């Protein structure tokens, strides 16, 4: 059971802490403690209060009532600066780096070494290199952050936290954008941080990961803490039941049967884009769910954007419904029955300062507009509301800005938008990233329903279990090429990973 807050190893403790956003109670009488040298995981569905708890620790939000203590002393963390003074820092699921500045600039920002009123570039670099050496994380300090892979950008963010003499680090969905081998490397780093005495708060929707890496798990549901216990006493099923209040059962629906006489809906021939992918050829039949697996950087997302019209290929051709499809732009693809859930909701999908209504209906405004009457707000509202209900988005109003939704609910907005178009072809690039178990089931069921009514899905995922559980057939990409095609019982974790790591 949860240790007493009086434990000498307790670094941060919450006692009956409350936090509300308008009418939404994000955290209700939460009592929990975090110990130095321990990895403490927070799990729960979207809207359970995990990220809110993490942000209270980091001073991003201030608590409404209750007591927060650091080193046994009551504190009021009114800003991230206050938290940093106590050694409390965080790594968010959406990286907050300066892409046009160098690695050393990003790591040292706000903590540069000075000589008098002047910044000493040499001494600042020496300090950054010392931090890299101490934790065994080396990245070329002169490189621009924008040129780095997602995995290396995450390392820069972690190094920046370590450069602040962090005593507690909050990791919020840290492996959501990483391939499996990169996630393993991150796990090793997190363990080494805990071993050196750093307290780690680990927020993740990946329950296997939580069970593998943490010492303690706190379960939250609807803003309330259900329980805190030793990881050794939990299982995946016990966590799911605690998070949802029910036994979720089988995560994946049965794969709909494909009519062998079904027409080919999409045919791609020798599609090439320099330095991204080469000679890609495949077809998808009506009702088929085609998975594309591979490591981050293998060209999967780039291929998806080329098919969707977001970037032009250098050569090759596409046929849609048996006719040549000229790639023009995204609007042209939408009109021809395509929809896409992009990989990065913040960079590619959402207008964070606009409403849930606007974000969902934006690509289809022409549908609700006439020359005489203009925009039919009532019809727009009705269809968006129905789509949001179908995808189980938790919100306090369609007029609320998307930036105030949880990360998981922001992801579901992308799916609600795609579903509104009733697409003939859905391109889903990491569609369940940052989404909880219950919402994953909803999304998998929606994908399955598309298949049942004869629509096609191109599913790109870094979660091998997702590919195995959902796809009828799978292509594996490596270094911009398709290196394997797997069908039925051939779609196994070992077969996918073996192909993904092919060198030639």
More reliable by pLDDT, 279 or 432: 279
Q: Name the 3-class secondary structure at 399.
A: coil
Which of 94-108, 229-243, 263-277, 388-402 has the largest mean confidence? 263-277
> pLDDT tier at 263 (50, 70, 90 boundaries)?
very high
**Nearest partner of 421 among 379, 377, 362, judged by Cα:** 362
Full DSSP string of 326-341: ----HHHHHHTTEEEE
* pLDDT tops 60 at residue 455: yes
Do domains 10-244 and 250-255+263-337+423-504 share one topology? The answer is yes
> Span 383-396, mean pLDDT?
87
What percent of the chain stands above pLDDT 70? 96
Position 8 confidence tier, pLDDT thresholds 50, 70, 90: low
Q: pLDDT by residue (tens digit) across 195-222?
A: 989 999 999 888 889 999 999 999 998 8
Q: How far apart are the C-alpha atoms of 163 and 324, rounded to whole Å?
A: 55
Tokens coding 452: 């049942």
Give me the pLDDT at residue 2, please: 43
In this prediction, residue 82 carries a pLDDT of 92
Tens-place pLDDT, residues 64-118: 999 999 999 999 999 998 999 999 998 876 667 888 999 999 998 878 888 888 8
Q: Is the pLDDT of residue 45 over 60?
A: yes
CB atoms inside a 10 Å sphere around CB 66: 17
The reported pLDDT for the residue numbered 501 is 75
Cβ–Cβ under 8 Å, residues 207 and 236: yes
The pLDDT score that the predictor gives to residue 418 is: 87
Average pLDDT, the chain: 88
Asked if residue 179 has pLDDT above 90, the reply is no
Instruction: Work out the pLDDT band at 410, boundaries 50, 70, 90.
Output: confident
User: Given this model, what pLDDT does residue 246 score?
Assistant: 57
Q: What pLDDT is stored for residue 24 in this prediction?
A: 77
Render 115-127 in DSSP notation, one character per residue: ETTEE-HHHHHHH
Check residue 5 and give its pLDDT.
45
pTM score, whole prediction: 0.66
Assess whether pLDDT exceeds 70 at residue 249.
Answer: no
Q: Which of 144, 142, 145 is nearest to 124 (CA)?
A: 142
- The residues that bridge with 69 in the sheet, in sequence order, are 13, 74
CATH assignment of 10-244, among 3.40.50.300, 3.40.47.10, 3.30.590.10, 3.90.1520.10: 3.40.50.300
Tens-digit pLDDT profile for residues 426-441 = 999 988 877 777 778 8
What pLDDT does 1 receive?
A: 40
How far is 130 from 114, CA to CA, in rounded Å? 17
pLDDT class for 490, splitting at 50, 70, 90? very high
Q: What is the mean pLDDT of residues 441-462?
A: 89
Question: Which pairing describes strands 39-43 and 199-203: parallel, antiparallel, or unpaired?
Answer: parallel
Q: What is the pLDDT of residues 333-376, one digit of tens each?
A: 999 999 999 887 877 888 889 999 999 998 888 888 888 888 88
d(CA 91, CA 98): 14
250-255+263-337+423-504: which CATH topology? Rossmann fold (3.40.50)
Domains of the chain, by residue range, sit at 10-244, 250-255+263-337+423-504, 351-422
Choice between 30 and 240, residue whose per-residue pLDDT is larger: 30
Rounded Cα distance between 376 and 374, Å, is 6
Q: What is the DSSP letter of 185?
A: H
């Amino acid at each position: 059971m949860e240790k007493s807050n009086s434990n000498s190893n307790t670094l941060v403790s919450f006692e009956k802490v409350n936090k509300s956003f308008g009418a939404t109670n994000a955290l209700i009488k939460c009592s929990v403690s975090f110990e130095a040298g321990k990895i403490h995981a927070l799990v729960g569905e979207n809207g359970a209060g995990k990220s809110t708890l993490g942000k209270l620790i980091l001073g991003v939000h201030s608590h409404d009532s209750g007591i927060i203590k650091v080193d046994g002393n009551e504190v009021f963390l009114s800003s991230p600066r206050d938290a940093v003074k106590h050694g409390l820092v965080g790594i968010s699921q959406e990286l907050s780096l300066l892409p046009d500045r160098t690695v050393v600039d990003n790591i040292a920002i706000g903590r540069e070494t000075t000589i008098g009123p002047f910044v000493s570039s040499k001494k600042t670099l020496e300090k950054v290199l010392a931090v890299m050496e101490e934790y065994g994380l080396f990245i070329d300090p002169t490189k621009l952050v924008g040129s780095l892979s997602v995995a290396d950008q995450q390392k820069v963010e972690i190094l920046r936290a370590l450069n602040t003499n962090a005593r507690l680090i909050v990791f919020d969905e840290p492996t959501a954008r990483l391939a499996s081998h990169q996630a393993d490397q991150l796990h090793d780093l997190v363990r080494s941080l805990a071993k050196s005495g750093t307290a780690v708060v680990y927020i993740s929707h990946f329950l296997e990961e939580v069970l593998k890496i943490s010492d303690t798990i706190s379960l939250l549901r609807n803003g309330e803490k259900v329980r805190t216990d030793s990881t050794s006493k939990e299982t995946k099923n016990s966590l799911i039941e605690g998070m949802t209040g029910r036994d979720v059962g089988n995560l994946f629906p049965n794969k709909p049967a494909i009519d062998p006489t079904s027409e080919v809906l999409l045919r791609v021939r020798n599609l090439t884009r320099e330095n991204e992918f080469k000679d890609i050829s495949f077809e998808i039949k009506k009702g088929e769910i085609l998975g594309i697996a591979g490591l981050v950087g293998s060209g999967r997302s780039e291929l998806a954007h080329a098919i969707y019209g977001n970037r032009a290929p250098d050569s090759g051709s596409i046929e849609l419904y048996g006719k040549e499809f000229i790639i023009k732009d995204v609007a042209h693809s939408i009109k021809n029955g395509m929809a896409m859930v992009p990989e990065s909701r913040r960079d590619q999908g959402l207008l964070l300062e606009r409403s849930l209504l606007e974000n969902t209906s934006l690509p289809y405004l022409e549908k609700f507009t006439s020359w005489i009457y203009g925009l039919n707000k009532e019809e727009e509202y009705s269809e968006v509301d129905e789509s949001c209900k179908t995808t189980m988005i938790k919100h306090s109003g369609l007029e609320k800005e998307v930036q105030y939704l949880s990360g998981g609910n922001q992801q579901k907005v992308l799916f609600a938008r795609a579903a509104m178009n009733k697409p003939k072809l859905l391109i889903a690039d990491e569609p369940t990233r940052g989404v909880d178990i219950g919402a994953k089931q909803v999304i998998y069921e929606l994908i399955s329903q598309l298949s049942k009514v004869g629509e096609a899905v191109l599913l790109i995922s870094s979660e091998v279990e997702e590919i195995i559980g959902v796809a009828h057939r799978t292509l594996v990409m490596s270094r911009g090429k398709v290196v394997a095609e797997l069908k039925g019982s051939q779609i196994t974790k070992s077969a996918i990973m073996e192909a993904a790591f092919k060198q030639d």
